[in-house]
Each structure stands twice: as structure tokens, then as C-alpha cells.
């Protein structure tokens, strides 16, 4: 196993097409942003294990949009988040709190979600 040290906003690249970014470090928790091709599955270990055991339901388009929206917010890819909302995706309550907590950077996204733009 390769073990690497990274600080906030530092990343690693895997196979030229996967980037893992340290988004936030809070106490003993590290938030990671993962950019990968659409055909690449990315899961937390416990989800992956459940899928391997056949315990997971297939991802629906709505769940995929939600997963993508979370990925865009955590990686700072706000333009893609805006495009997803513009195409009709409605963020859930937890996602709205993240949007509101980001402040002025996501002002346009917040307006789109609330139907003000």
C-alpha cells in the first residue's frame, strides 16, 4: 500500500484521469473530492462492500444527479453544479445548507435553486 501525506487543497492523481483532492480537514475527519471519468465507479468502502454482497439498489438517475451535485460542491466545481440545477435538478435540504454556507461564491446557484433566476 502506498501511503501519502497531503494538506488541504493538495491532491493526488491516479492513472492520469482520476484526481483525489483534500477538500477539508476537520478534527479526525478528512473530506475528499474525487474527479473521475463517468464510467469509473467511486464509492466509500462500506458502500462498495455492500454492492459486492448484492445489498445495494442500483443508482437511479435522481441519485446519480444527487451524487454528482455533491461531487461538484465538494470539489469546488460550481459551474457544473449550476448547470445541473439549470437542467432541472433540485438540491435536497442538506445540499441547500451547503450552498447557503458557501456564501457569495454560490449566490447564483442559490438564486437558481430558489427560482429567482
Dihedral (C-alpha) 95, 69, 76, 51: value to the nearest 10 degrees?
100
- Confidence grade of residue 107 (pLDDT, cut at 50, 70, 90): low
pLDDT tens by residue, 59-73: 555 577 888 888 888
- Find the mean pLDDT for residues 92-103: 77
For 1-117, where are the E strands, in sequence order? Answer: 11-14, 18-26, 29-35
Could you give the percent of the chain with pLDDT greater than 90? 20
pTM for this model (two decimals): 0.47
Amino acid at each position: 500500500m502506498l501511503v501519502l501525506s497531503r494538506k488541504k487543497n493538495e491532491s493526488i492523481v491516479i492513472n492520469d484521469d482520476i484526481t483525489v483532492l483534500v477538500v477539508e480537514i476537520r478534527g479526525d475527519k478528512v473530506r475528499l473530492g474525487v474527479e473521475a471519468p463517468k464510467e469509473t465507479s467511486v464509492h466509500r468502502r462500506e458502500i462498495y462492500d455492500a454492492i459486492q454482497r448484492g445489498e445495494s439498489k442500483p443508482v437511479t438517475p435522481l441519485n446519480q444527479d444527487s451524487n454528482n451535485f455533491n461531487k461538484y460542491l465538494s470539489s469546488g466545481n460550481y459551474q457544473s453544479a449550476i448547470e445541473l440545477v439549470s437542467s432541472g435538478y433540485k438540491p435536497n435540504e442538506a445540499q441547500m445548507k451547503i450552498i447557503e454556507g458557501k456564501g457569495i461564491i454560490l449566490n447564483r446557484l442559490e438564486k437558481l435553486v430558489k427560482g429567482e433566476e
